[in-house]
Amino acid sequence: MQKNLRNKKQEQTRSFKSRVMAFFVNLGLICVAITGLYVLFVFLQMPSLDSVLHETREPAIVFLDRNGREIRADGRIMGAAVSVDNLPPHVWQAIVAIEDKRFFEHGAISYRGTLRAMILNMFHGHFAAGGSTITQQTAKNIFLSREKKVSRKIQELILSLWLENRFSKNQILDLYMNRISLVGGMRGIDAASNMLFGHGAREMSLAESAQIAAMLKAPSAYSPIKNPERNIKRAKVVLTEMVKQNYISLDAARAASAELKQSVKQQDKNIYRYWTDFVRDEIESRLGEINQDLYVYTTLDTKLQKQVATSLSSNIGEYQGAIVAVARDGAIVSMLGGDDYVESQFNRALALRQPGSAFKPVVYLVALENGMTPESYVNDSPFAIGDYNPKNYDERYYGGITLATAFAKSVNSVPLKLTKEYGIDSVLQMAARLGVGNNLKREYSTVLGASEMSLLDLTTIYSVIWNDGKSVHPYSITKITDVGGHVIYSRNPSEEITILQPQTVEYMKELLYEVVTKGTGKRAYTKDVFGGKTGTSNDNRDAWFVGATPNYVMGVWVGRDDNKPMSSKITGGTLPATIFHEIVK
């Protein structure tokens, strides 16, 4: 009987244990199920794994000069794509050495690194070290989320495992280098290199690579601009790690250490901004809405643009200015719409202003077409028609003079008398043939440049003359491609039309040469200047010079944005001519 009681108690004990075990098993299964459902829920909240590799953003436009070199990019939030295959080895080696030295050995998670980080953090009593692998950091950068939530960490783990399963180690490293955000809101080490050192990641030295790698721990705290001492100190640690991991020699590390220095953030190249704004409008006029990344090959000569910017900045003083240069075939090789784009985005090269005497070649072309020559005599004396009786600039009259002298001295009475003889309509028709007749008033004041036009329009008039009398249609784009190099737009030049006869052109060139050798434009002269013309509007509000060299026709405007008069000493033959001379010389 006692035996039966003992057996019964044992059975009850086993039954209790079984129930307890069953409870915990069931509880465990429920927890696993709940955890699994939560992970599934979190997974379902993730965007498509393929879509996380492709960003939704405004299309970027990369502008290139006439030699195919990049001058600016609009809307681009990432630097140029780089790869382990196209970078100097020390660039990616510096990153691996300091961020995840066993990157090529472990999987998505480094258990050794995680354990080490946990021990260090427990020892220090606060967060002192991280155990994330480059793969995990890549996942974090793709999501661009810094939220300290369990759900985000689960998503990061899922994505890390997916990345390791789908891509090779080199490809994951490529993703990391192209997505990491280091400076200025831009992403990728190429963008950081351009902003810090003035060149792309492919040109980074060993020292620069170490300084970039040093920033990965905390970009702002270890910035070579904001905290150069901390950056240099950590960069030396990077170099030491590279030596320990046999990426570089000790001598190479010492040499690179001596090159570490504070960086200066590269300033925006605003000398190109007026140009790229102008070109962007041209793109939209040809393609309509821009819905993909584009590479735009422009006609800009960057060397000339720099010379133009330097000369304008050093001479402009209290006023404003604009410059346009056009090649013989109409290619706009330089455009500067002001001295400082940051201060004002208004492109003065396109603003409508009164050209003054710079319009007079249109009138003289009419006279030359009607049989006059540079040696033909004309009478410079007071002129009046109705209430309109303009005087010469210095109120001096020369009497009987040649057409060449009248043009060189920019007297006012002669072109007015020529207009009266040949008719105002013939002048307007000539302007239309030259491509600038749209906004001209049918008034005698137009002859002296009272009708407004842009610097680009005015320069076009002279371009026709130096294109041997053939039509000129200014253009800024040669072709547009997508990122794959497929041509979306290619310039198809129209056939040139003869607008001026050869004899007329030769006589006109002779008149323009007289201006820079004997007349009002002498300050512009160098041996490479073929000719030019000055212009000054009423009360010295606008001062112009347009001249020609063997390679291009260039127009210069100086004035004030508020259209108030400048000093009486500022005429087309002074400041604009001087600027032109400096650029050409």
Domain boundaries along the sequence of the chain = 22-52, 85-259, 308-584
Range 85-259 classified under CATH 1.10.3810.10: yes
Strands (E), 135-239: 181-183, 186-187
Q: What pLDDT sits at residue 127?
A: 42
Give me the numbers of helices (H) and strands (E) for the chain, helices first please: 19, 14
Q: CA distances (Å), 27 to each of 12, 15, 39, 377, in order?
A: 22, 18, 18, 114
End-to-end CA distance of the chain: 125
**Across the strands, what pairs with 487?**
481
Q: What is the pLDDT of residue 38?
A: 46
573: its two tokens: 């033959």
User: 282, 293 in Cβ contact below 8 A?
Assistant: no
Q: Tell which residue, 564, 510, 515, has the closest CA to residue 539.
A: 564
Question: Is residue 142 pLDDT above 60, yes or no?
Answer: yes
| 16 pLDDT higher than 80 | no
List strand residue ranges (DSSP E) for 299-363, in order.
320-327, 332-336
Predicted confidence (pLDDT) per residue in 441-458, tens digit: 999 999 999 999 999 999
Give the max Cα distance, the chain. 154
At residue 274, the pLDDT reads 96
Contact 455, 349 (CB under 8 A): yes
d(CA 38, CA 17): 31
Compute how many other C-beta atoms are within 10 angstroms of the C-beta atom of residue 369. Answer: 17
Provide DSSP, 403-466: HHHHHHTT-SHHHHHHHHHH-HHHHHHHHHHHT--TT--SSGGGGGT-S-B-HHHHHHHHHHHH
The answer to whether residues 92 and 177 touch, using CB atoms and an 8 Å cutoff, is: yes
CA gap 350, 337 in Å, rounded: 8
464-515 residue pLDDT tens:
999 999 999 999 999 999 888 899 999 999 889 999 999 999 999 999 999 9
List alpha helices for 423-571, DSSP H: 424-434, 455-466, 502-518
β-bridge pairing 181-183 and 487-490: unpaired
**Alpha-helical runs (H) found in 216-272:** 228-244, 250-259
pLDDT of 181 > 70? The answer is yes
Mean pLDDT, all residues of the chain: 86
What is the spatial distance between Cα 561 and Cα 80, in angstroms, rounded to a whole number? 38
**Residue 72 clears pLDDT 50, i.e. is over it:** yes
Is the pLDDT score of 120 beyond 70?
no
**What CATH number is given for 308-584 in this structure?**
3.40.710.10
556 CB contacts (<8 Å, ≥6 apart)?
321, 322, 323, 455, 544, 545, 546, 576, 577, 579, 580
Tell me: pLDDT of 291 over 90.
no
pLDDT at 19 over 80: no
Sheet holding 542-548, edge to edge: 332-336, 320-327, 552-559, 542-548, 531-536
Given this model, what pLDDT does residue 2 score?
Answer: 57
Name the band, by pLDDT with cuts 50, 70 and 90, for residue 41: very low
pLDDT at 126: 43
Cα distances from 205 to residues 188, 222, 240, 252, in angstroms, run: 17, 18, 16, 11
Establish how many alpha carbons lie within 13 A of residue 537's alpha carbon, considering only the half-sphere containing its beta carbon: 22
* Euclidean distance between CA atoms 316 and 313, whole angstroms: 6
Going by pLDDT thresholds of 50, 70 and 90, the confidence category of residue 394 is confident
Chain Cα centroid distance, residue 71: 5
Could you give the CA distance from residue 527 to residue 510 in angstroms, rounded to a whole number? 15
CA-wise closest residue to 542 among 509, 576, 512 = 576
Full-model pTM: 0.72
Residue 234 near residue 217, CB atoms below 8 Å: yes
Report d(CA 352, CA 455) in Å as an integer. 8
